[in-house]
Amino acid sequence: MYKTTARKSISDGAEDFSLRDIVAPLFRRKKLLIITLACVFVGLTPIGLLLLYKFKSEMAILVNRERVDSPVTTGVSNQTITQPIPMAEEEINSEAELLLSQDVLEKVVIANHLQEHKPGFLDFILPKRDEAYEVATAVKTLARKIKVRPSTKANIIDVSYSSTDPKLSYAVLNSLGGFYLDKDAQVHRPPGSYEFFADETSRYKKALDDSEAKLRNFVQAPGASAPDLQRTDLDLQLANSIGQLHTTQQAVASDEKRIDSDKQQMKVTPQRSTTQLASSPADLLLQQLGSSLLAAQTKRSQLLLKYDPSYPLVQEADQELAETQAAFDKAQQTKYVTENTNADPTYELLREDLARTEADLAAQKASLAANQTSIASMQTQMSQLAEKGLDEADLTREQKANEDNYLLYLGKREQARTSDALDKTRIENVAIAIPPSIPVLPVLSPFMIVLFALVGAGFISLATVYTVDYFDSSFHTPGEVIDTLGIPVVVTMSKRTA
């Protein structure tokens, strides 16, 4: 080989590599190829036998709905399943997650002593760990090694576990299946359900007895019998009383208006009317006035015999005579009228109607007051009956609710008793369809492991040879020298020969 320190470069116009160019690095570095192949093969074979020589145990879990527990509802349980209900993917995945729950894996680890740590070189360096740490580490490792694969087309969950010991693989899956069934029964049928339903049944039975006693005492109380019927009858009476009240109010208004009208007519109607009228002159008055006139004339004549007409006594007598004469003349013109009267019949009719209407008004007002009092009393009774009706409805509703709850929990108690009996006989919604068995053959035979080690060693050695050849800066062929340096090569000499 022509040795130089110049790095090779490939021109842009270089030809494509041939098969000879591809395998040439293998011949150039066959020593490295053989050493690498042997070392890697020797190293991979024990590692492969240690890691891949395992025994896998498998089991299959069937998830179904052959047993369906009734939910706690307020209705009467009358469950009839005519056809199976298909399982949802979420339910199957939930069972798969339950299979790998922390507490189940801890029980499997402890049952199979997987937490027991094998002494190693790092124990002298790392601090000593307690049992809880070892259990947690073993649980984490077990969760990684257990393979759970829910089927997409069937209600089957495939579970597998591999280890170097076939009996350990079987024991782990066997204990896992048992602990999983216990966990599934505990989750879907919590313990103590029968006691709970029995306590609830007793409690609602006592509540039912109390509510029936309250309702019985309420019905036996005075005036509490059938308040709704009494209220209906009283409502009819109240409607009639209200109608009578309106009628009485109309009658009172009518009587008051009639009394006002009678009083107005009595004001313009005379109490008495004239039945006989007679007229006669005033004879007695004329006789008295004639005597007075004659006496006045006599007195004046006597005064004139003694005195002059201008004398005051004479003038006084003249004046008296003139007044008497005037009174006599007026009396001659006056006539006495004799008038006979009697009670007016219209006025009497108005007075009698007024008296009768006032008496009727007083009676109507008394009836109005009594009717109003009666209506107020009936309204109060209706309110009381309404309250009693509500109380009776509350007591009836309470008694009905307690009865429904009692019957509900009575049925649930029997269901819980049946479910507990089924749980004791291991009737579950999940079942081990294919139980685990002790594997006889390993997952991979030693021949296959050696073959895989040989293939892996060959790949690693080839990669090593091509990598070393790629990073080597030497010229491998005369053509590379000519292409890179541009000088002719006279002769080539092998490095071993030189």
Residue by residue, DSSP assigns 205-231 as: HHHHHHHHHHHHHHHHSTT-SSHHHHH
What is the predicted pLDDT for the residue at 162?
85
Q: What is the pLDDT of residues 394-409, one digit of tens each?
A: 888 888 888 888 888 8
pLDDT digits (tens, 9 = 90+) for 230-275: 777 777 888 888 888 888 888 888 888 888 888 888 788 777 766 6
pLDDT of residue 7: 39
Band the pLDDT of 82: cuts 50, 70, 90. Answer: very low
pLDDT digits (tens, 9 = 90+) for 344-360: 777 788 888 888 888 88
Stronger pLDDT, 20 or 404, i.e. the higher one:
404
Question: What confidence tier does 166 reach under pLDDT thresholds 50, 70, 90?
Answer: confident
Would you call 431 helix, strand, or coil by DSSP? strand
Position 13 scores a pLDDT of 41
278 pLDDT more than 70: no
pTM metric for this prediction: 0.44
pLDDT band at residue 298 under the 50/70/90 scheme: confident
Average pLDDT estimate for 220-238: 72
Beta carbons of 386 and 393 less than 8 angstroms apart: no
- In this structure, how many other beta carbons lie within 10 angstroms of the beta carbon of residue 22? 10
Whole-number pLDDT of residue 4: 40
Comparing CA positions, the residue from 153, 147, 148, 149 lying closest to residue 87 is 153
Assess contact for 150 and 100: CB atoms under 8 A. no
Q: For residues 365 and 119, which has the higher predicted lDDT (pLDDT)?
A: 365
Q: Which burial class, exposed, middle or buried, applies to 43 when counting CB atoms under 10 A from its CB (0-12, 13-18, 19+)?
A: middle
The per-residue DSSP string of 329-373 comes to HHHHH-EEEEEEEEE-HHHHHHHHHHHHHHHHHHHHHHHHHHHHH
Q: What is the pLDDT of residue 66?
A: 53
Quick one: pLDDT at residue 5? 38
Q: What is the CA radius of gyration of the chain?
A: 69
User: What's the pLDDT band for 81 if we cut at 50, 70, 90?
Assistant: very low
Higher pLDDT, 53 or 190: 53
pLDDT band for position 390 (cuts 50, 70, 90): confident
Average pLDDT, the chain: 75
pLDDT at 9 over 50: no
Say yes or no to pLDDT of 430 above 60: yes
